[in-house]
Amino acid sequence: MSMRIKSVVKVMNFYSLLRVDSSKRKAEKYFGYEQAVREFIDNILNNKNLILDKKMIKMNDKGRELNIYIANDLGFCGSFNSNINEVLRQDKESDKIIIGKKIAKDKLYANVLLSMTKDEYFESNEQINKIMFESIKNKTYKSINLIYNHYYNVSRIERVKEQILPLEKTKTRKEEYQDDFAVEGNINSILLNIIALYLGYEIKVAVENSYASENIMRQMITKESLKKIDEIEEEKAREERKERNMKSLKKQLDNINKMNLNS
């Protein structure tokens, strides 16, 4: 029975490592897209050749926050979900989007706009993109934030709250872009769509990073479980050796007693 459990845990450990590597590559890819889109947004916002309604992208100072909570779908990874739930329980006012099957059910909390598993998010994130676009267009919120477990390295995973809107000024931002644009349609509407695209990539980076984090945690726990299984098996082997030695000793004593009786 223990050998069967050990085999299952080894498989879990192996696949967790594979998922970490895959998620890191995807997060890096989406981060590259995100940076390119962000630079393009800066180019539009700060271009002297374009006439923009800057009020269009201002946030609503009197609005509430939109918090996007990212947990996990799978179990066997310790306090990963409770770390996020701790913030969620205290969040009474904001609107919420929840990604992750194991996180608290949306019916337990007010103002949940959308709740989905990570698998559902990977398959389709159009609903989130629509919420992003409408919230920018209608100036619904004062800020949009991501709350998730961020993977830095195998020994450092931390819960973060990252603001993705309003947009922060980029460190490499030029004061005044001078590129010429040939624009078909309303540049303000185009900019809204591009910002929504940028936010979509921000969320994808966070989801993939969170996925790497949960699998690192699962890998660490399965590694510890394998160590415990080895210790249990070793203890069992010692007990079996002890029992065999006792039986052997008893047999030898019985033989000696028989020889004494016969003599």
Domain residue extents for the chain: 2-218
**pLDDT confidence of 89, banded at 50, 70, 90?**
confident
Mean pLDDT of 223-246: 75
End-to-end CA distance of the chain: 49
Most confident of 7-11, 72-76, 98-102, 143-147: 143-147
* 112/188: higher pLDDT: 112
Question: What is the SS3 string spanning the chain?
Answer: CHHHHHHHHHHHHHHHHHHHHHHHHHHHHHHHHHHHHHHHHHHHHCECCCCCCHHHHCCCCCCEEEEEEECCCCCCCCCHHHHHHHHHHHCCCCEEEEECCCCCCHHHCCCEEEEECHHHHHHCCHHHHHHHHHHHHCCCEEEEEEEEEEEEECCEEEEEEEEEECCCCCCCCCCCECCCCCCCCCHHHHHHHHHHHHHHHHHHHHHHHHHHHHHHHHHHHHHHHHHHHHHHHHHHHHHHHHHHHHHHHHHHHHHHHHHHHHC
Backbone phi, psi, residue 160, to 5°: -130, 155
Asked if pLDDT for residue 113 goes beyond 60, the answer is yes
Average pLDDT over residues 157-183: 71
> Residue 78 — pLDDT band, cuts 50, 70, 90?
low
Q: Is the peptide bond before 166 cis (omega within 30 degrees of 0)?
A: yes
Q: Residue 1 — very low, low, confident or very high, per pLDDT cuts 50/70/90?
A: very low
Q: What is the pLDDT of residue 219?
A: 67
For the entire predicted model, the pTM comes to 0.72
pLDDT in tens, 27-39: 677 767 777 787 7
* Residue 41: per-residue pLDDT: 78
pLDDT of residue 98: 93
Give the tens place of pLDDT for each residue, 175-220: 556 666 666 667 777 888 888 888 888 898 888 888 877 777 766 6
Q: Does domain 2-218 have CATH number 3.40.1380.10?
A: yes
Q: Six-digit token pair at 257? A: 């007693």
CA distance 163 to 159: 13
What is the predicted pLDDT for the residue at 67?
Answer: 96
